[in-house]
Amino acid sequence: MRQAFRIGLMLSVAVATAPACTSVLGDFTMGESGASSSSGGSTGCPAGTADCDGNGDCEARLHADPLNCGACGAVCLDEGTCSETGCSGVTEIARGFPTAEDANARLLAIYEDEVYWTAGEGTNGSVQKVPALGGAVTSLAAGQNAPYGVAVNRHGVFWANLNDKNVMWVDREGQETPKVIFDSNRATLGVAADESEVFWSQRAADIGVAGEGSLIGKITMPDGWPDDEFREADDTSPHLIALDAEHVYWVDRRARGTVNRTHRGTGNTDKLADDQPFPYAIAVDDAFVYWTNSPRGNGNELEGAVMRAPKDGSREAMAIWTPSEDDDVEHPSPDCIAVDGNDDYVYWTDQGTPRVLRKRKDGTGRQQVLHEGGAPRGIALHGGFVFWVEENGAGGVRKLPRPR
C-alpha cells in the first residue's frame, strides 16, 4: 500500500541552532568503524592558505598544494599541478564517505555551488554534499537503503531509496532527521526538481520490464503534497527524468523503450522517440532532449549510443555518438548525461570503457575523451567545470575544467 506524507511545514523550516555534522578532507584516516575522520579549517589564516590538519599552522598553500588545491582536501589527480586557477587536470573534491566499503557513488545534483550525491547499494547508503570548490563534506543522511536519484531546491534535498521503495527529504544543512515523504511498494528511481515541483519515477516490475502501476509522481512546493496519480504508465518501465518549465521528460528503460515528455500541468504525454535499446539517462536544453542508450548488463550485443530529438517532437531522433564512428573500444556503455544551454557540447560518462566524454550537440566532429579510468557515473555541469561521481573504489566526486 502506498502512503503519502504531507511535508509542508518542514519544507519551510531552516534550523540554524547547531552545526552540521561535517568532516574536512585532507589527511584523513579510517577509524575502526570505517568512518572517515579528519580535522582542519582555514579560520584566521591569511588569504591563499588554510589550516587543513587542524594544528593551527595555516600550512596549506591553496594555490600550490596539489593535496589541498583551492580548498582543504581538493586533490589534484594524475600528478596534476596546482595554481591560482586550480588543478591542471582532474580534481577530487570528496572521497571515501561515509565508509570506504559503502562509498560507491551513484548520482549527483548541483545547487548553489554545492554538489549533492548519493552513495551505496545496500542499507548503509548515504546522501552527502560538498562545496563545488572542495572542502568540508556534510553527511545529510546515513543508513539509506540504496539511495539513487537525487534533486535539490530551496526547500531541501530529495532522493529515492531504490530498495526501500520510498522518496526521502532532508534540509540542505542536514540538521533535521531525514523524513519519508512518499512510501510505496514499487522501486523508486529518478528524481528531478525545480523551485516549484519535485518529480520522481517508479517502476512496478524488474529493470526494463513493464509493470502495472509504474508512474511519474509529483510533489508540489511548498505544501509538499505527493501526487502518485500524476502520470500512470502501466506499459512502461520509467527510469531517470529531467525537467524544463513546462514538461517532465523521462525514459522507458526497456529493450525497445521510449523517450517521453509529460506536461507538468495536464499530465498529457507525448512520445518523442521509440524503439530505443535500453534508454537510461536524460537531459534537456532549450530546444532538444538528449539521452543515452545503455544496454550494459542486459546480456545482449546491442550497442550503446548518445541520442537527441527536438523537444517538440517535430523531427525524428538522431544519434550524436555511436562507438563505431569514433574509436575502437570494447563494450562501450554510455551512462549518465549532461547538457548546458550555454555550451555547444553534450557530456556523458561511459562505464563500459570507462571514460568521461563530450561531443558537439549536433553530432559533428569527433568525440573528446576528457578522462579515462575509474568508474564514472553521475555527471553534471556547473561553473565552467564538468563534475562526476566515482561508483567504485573509494567513491567520491571529481571535477575537470571544460575545455574551451
Better pLDDT: 392 or 393? 392
Query: Any idea what the CATH number is for the domain that residue 307 is in?
Result: 2.120.10.30
Q: Say yes or no: 81 and 119 in one domain.
A: no
Q: Are residues 160 and 35 located together in one domain of the fold?
A: no
Better-scored residue on pLDDT, 14 or 149: 149
Residue finishing a domain among 38, 73, 94: 94
pLDDT tens-digit readout, 311-343: 999 999 999 999 875 566 777 889 999 999 999
Q: Which of 66-80, 88-102, 267-281, 336-350 has the lowest mean pLDDT?
A: 88-102
The chain-wide mean pLDDT, for the chain, equals: 85
Instruction: Determine contact, residues 229/215, Cβ cutoff 8 Å.
Output: yes
Confidence of residue 380 (pLDDT cuts 50, 70, 90): very high
Tell me: do 245 and 257 sit in the same domain.
yes
Question: Is the same domain home to 53 and 104?
Answer: no
Same domain (yes/no): 283, 343: yes
Q: Are residues 47 and 194 in the same domain?
A: no
Least Cα distance to 197 among 165, 173, 240, 230 occurs for: 230
Quick: pLDDT tens for 10-52: 444 333 333 322 222 222 222 222 233 233 355 689 999 999 9
Place of cell 519519508: 180
CA angle 150, 153, 157 (to 5 degrees): 45
Q: Would you say 134 and 74 are in contact if contact means Cβ atoms under 8 Å apart? A: yes
Same domain? For 90 and 161 the reply is: no
Distance CA 240, CA 191 (A): 7
Q: What's the domain range around 8?
A: 3-25+95-401
Residues 246 and 258 placed together within one structural domain of the fold: yes
The pLDDT of residue 38 is 32
Identity of the highest mean pLDDT range in 143-147, 208-212, 281-285: 281-285
Do 87 and 198 belong together in one domain? no
Which range, of 54-63, 289-298, 337-346, averages the lowest pLDDT?
289-298
How many other C-beta atoms can be found within 10 angstroms of the C-beta atom of residue 14? 13
Average pLDDT over residues 135-139: 92
Instruction: Note the pTM of the prediction, 2 decimals.
Output: 0.89
pLDDT at 232: 82
Residues 6+ apart with CB under 8 A from 245: none
Considering 45, 77, 94, which residue would you say is the last residue of a domain?
Answer: 94
Backbone φ and ψ for 9, nearest 5 degrees, come out as: -65, -40
Q: Which residues have C-beta within 8 Å of that of residue 165, sequence separation ≥ 6?
A: 183, 184, 185, 186, 187, 188, 202
CA distances from 367 to 294, 348, 358, 383, 393 (A): 18, 11, 6, 22, 27
Q: Residues 251, 375: one domain?
A: yes
Select from 94, 112, 138 the last residue of a domain: 94
Residue 22 or residue 269, greater confidence: 269
The set of cell numbers assigned to 53 is: 590538519
Distance CA 69, CA 82 (A): 6
Provide the pLDDT confidence category of residue 257 given band limits of 50, 70 and 90.
Answer: very high
Asked if 18 and 67 sit in the same domain, the reply is no
For the stretch 199-255, pLDDT in tens is: 999 988 887 777 777 889 999 998 888 888 888 877 889 999 999 999 999 999 998
What is the tally of structural domains in the chain? 2
- What pLDDT is stored for residue 104 in this prediction? 80
**Are residue 173 and residue 250 in the same domain, yes or no?**
yes
